[in-house]
Amino acid sequence: MFGTKKWRLYYPELKLILESIESGKLKWPLPPVNTTSAYYSHLVVNKKQNYVVGDKLVMTIIAKDGNGKRKTHGGDYFFARLIHAESRNKPYQDGIACDIEDHGDGTYSVSAPLLIPGTSSLFIDLVHPSEAVVALVLEASGTSGSGIYFVATYPSSEEVVCNVSLSQSSPIKVCNFSQPTKGFSWFCDYPKKSSHCPKVLNYTKVSYKESDVFLLGKQSYFKQNSNWKIPIQGSGFSVDVLDSSFMIDYVKSLPECSVPVGMSQLAYDRNLGRHSGLYLNDKWQSLQCNNKITMYKQWTCLRNKALYLIGDSTMRQWYEQFETILNLNTSTKLLDHPEIWQKSRNGTNAEHNITVYYRSHGLPLHNPGPAESHPFIVDTLNNIPATSEPSTIIVINFALHFCLIDPKFYLYRVQAVKRSVISLMERSPGVKVFIRGCIRHRNTRKVVPTEWYSFRLCKILRAEFAEVPGVGFIDTWQMTTVRTNHINIHPDVEIVADQINLFLSYVC
């Protein structure tokens, strides 16, 4: 019913509710009035009389349905952040993301370290009730996203429908273009004008059927101003914090940024919880290491280096910032075309012997182009020359374009990339590899109807690379929790700069 079960290992709190539905213990679907309600759910704050910087704010969410009845299972998806009052009216705010722990019984622990003196306000939204999350799982449990399909052109000029699988809706005979070693599953309709499948696809484009995208206002669990991103009772309350020397002393005690403190599973601190950092005085302050590097002043540490930026358009944004700051002379391997934004780019700064590469990832990338415009991450990594010198740096990100299909296809790709990363590090001991995490984003009906899909994939990405020695992790989820995007999926340029500055702290 809900597709593959493999991904549930990475999301145990949701695993319980799905198993309850499958076993018949929990009825689903429920009428909207019986789903978790932001208006009846409320926040209980374990508030002290006086707080100082270094203390911890601890709260509990009590989830209730539209009848005011206490919920007895978890799975609700909340958004929580603590924002400094003096920055409330600014485009870019200071603050910290909150830890949220799902206890599986309708209660959730919410906590945040108090690290900014003055007044801060807590904001907690019910993004999706658990029942809506279950609907999201069901919607993306198949082989193609709602309203999204791919059309490929064979060398014969015949156009055919393709996707990660066509088993449910295609003729008996299909053409299999899958490449398991690259984590790539891809099938196309059998040609009508030929007796055999071609060896290559000339061009692939993506099309959208807006009428098939059920979410926004078309399904009872997804109505704005009703049960989608609604503040719960108690959200918005303020806490006053007295200053102390805690942050000054803590920052002084932080180690230099290096791969061991950049691993994907954040170390747990008794006072700070699992936080990668916060925005303080308009800058991102890591709580894992002492990040003092700024791209505009200290990029020269990239001299005599090759930097590979691999991923979707949010990684292409990194290339564009480096292109400006490093004054790169860019060339592309494809003719310029406004739709083929993912075309490969090579940029050089001859004076400082810096080369920056941008490579996208393979299908199901939602952008048109010939096969060479959809290179696989595995191929890009395998083509990097072996070296024992510390002259190659790699940053990898991919998730957004996998959101609307069964997560098993994403897991296959992640595991293939992980194998290639390990192989590269074995043949090139000096290489530095980083995984850039996912971003919290606004919704787009075509590509990512809700951030929950990205949240699910980010759990998989972090867990899969957590135990790979020597791989660093750039946590951008908490960054974009505090400073949310203003332009749909793509972070503002200021937020991209914060991401790059954190990355450079690990390599400079």
Q: What is the DSSP annotation of 314-329? A: HHHHHHHHHHHHTT-E
Q: What angle do CA 243, 245, 251 make, to 5 degrees?
A: 120
Report the half-sphere exposure of 251 (CA within 13 A, side-chain side): 13
CATH number of the structural domain 8-135+221-247: 2.60.40.10
What is the spatial distance between Cα 372 and Cα 359, in angstroms, rounded to a whole number?
A: 10
Q: Which residues pair with 298 in a beta bridge?
A: none
Determine the 3-state secondary structure of 196 from DSSP.
Answer: coil
- pLDDT number for residue 189: 92
Strand 56-62 relative to strand 107-113: parallel, antiparallel, unpaired? Answer: antiparallel
58-61: long-range pairs with CB below 8 Å, 24+: 58/109, 58/110, 58/111, 59/109, 59/110, 59/111, 59/122, 59/234, 60/107, 60/108, 60/109, 60/110, 61/100, 61/107, 61/108, 61/110, 61/124, 61/232
Predicted TM-score (pTM) of this structure? 0.94
Identify the pLDDT of residue 265: 47
Where do the CATH 3.40.50.1110 domains begin and end in the chain? 289-507
Residue type, 297: K
Strand order in the sheet with 99-102: 42-45, 56-62, 107-113, 99-102
**Radius of gyration over every alpha carbon of the chain, rounded to an integer in angstroms:** 24
Helix (H, G, I), strand (E, B) or coil at 418: helix
Handedness of CA 253, 258, 260, 263 (dihedral sign): positive
CATH architecture type of domain 289-507? 3-Layer(aba) Sandwich (3.40)
d(CA 480, CA 491): 8
Contact 121, 222 (CB under 8 A): no
Contact in structure between 136 and 3 (CB atoms under 8 Å): no
**SS3 (DSSP) at 462:** helix
Query: Residue 208 has what pLDDT?
Result: 75
364 contact partners, CB below 8 Å, separation of at least 6:
150, 163, 164, 401, 402, 405, 409
Contacts of 303 (CB under 8 A, 6+ apart): 352, 353, 354
Each residue's pLDDT tens digit in the chain (508 positions)? 788 898 999 998 899 999 999 999 998 899 999 999 999 999 999 888 899 999 999 999 999 999 999 999 999 999 999 999 998 888 889 999 999 999 999 999 999 999 999 999 999 999 999 999 999 998 888 765 566 789 999 999 999 999 998 765 555 789 999 999 999 999 999 999 888 999 999 989 988 766 555 566 667 888 878 888 999 999 999 999 999 999 999 999 998 888 865 544 455 555 666 788 999 999 999 998 889 888 878 888 899 999 999 999 999 999 999 999 999 998 876 555 666 778 889 999 999 999 999 999 999 998 888 888 889 999 999 999 888 888 999 999 999 999 888 999 999 999 999 999 999 999 999 999 999 999 998 777 667 788 999 999 999 999 999 888 889 999 899 999 999 876 678 888 999 999 999 999 998 8
pLDDT at 264: 47
Give the residue range(s) of CATH 2.60.40.10 domains in the chain: 8-135+221-247
Give the pLDDT of residue 460: 94
What's the pLDDT score for residue 271?
62
